[in-house]
């Protein structure tokens, strides 16, 4: 168990200077600038407008799907009673049979 703690201390001792080198490097400074900068004024408004357009499109799509679902459900429930697909032969409007 003491070997584990000794190994952890050595790792921490080695990580501290390594972290300082990375933070002080150009990569670390570039990351800090990237995090601290604010977006240009027009970019934020453009993104909000694009998101609002997508939200409107998705809302309309969901409403269309809801209407289709209600329509299909009504069709399925209406077919629960047995119905004849075609009228029986010999009724008015039926095509005359040919004796060929």
In this predicted structure, the answer to whether residue 31 has a pLDDT above a threshold of 70 is yes
Instruction: Give the pLDDT confidence of 45-78 residue by residue, as tens digits.
Output: 888 999 999 999 999 999 999 999 999 998 888 8
Residue 93 or 72, more confident: 72
Burial 18-54 (b: 16+ CB within 10 A, else e): eeeeeeeeeeeeeeeeeeeeeeeeeeeeeeeeeeeee
| In the chain, where the domains are located | 41-77
User: Does pLDDT of 99 surpass 60?
Assistant: no
Report residue 49 as tokens. 């407008």
Residue 41 has pLDDT above 80, yes or no: no
pTM of the complete model beyond 0.75: no
Alpha-carbon dihedral of residues 36, 42, 45, 46, nearest 10 degrees? -110
pLDDT above 70 covers what percent of the chain? Answer: 78
């Amino acid at each position: 168990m003491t070997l584990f703690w000794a190994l952890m201390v050595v790792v921490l001792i080695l990580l501290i200077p390594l972290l300082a080198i990375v933070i002080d490097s150009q990569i670390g400074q570039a990351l800090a600038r990237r995090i601290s900068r604010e977006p240009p004024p027009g970019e934020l408004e453009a993104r909000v407008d694009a998101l609002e357009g997508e939200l409107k499109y998705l809302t309309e799509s969901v409403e269309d799907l809801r209407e289709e679902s209600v329509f299909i459900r009504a069709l399925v429930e209406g077919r629960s009673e047995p119905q004849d697909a075609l009228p029986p032969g010999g009724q008015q409007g039926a095509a005359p049979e040919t004796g060929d």
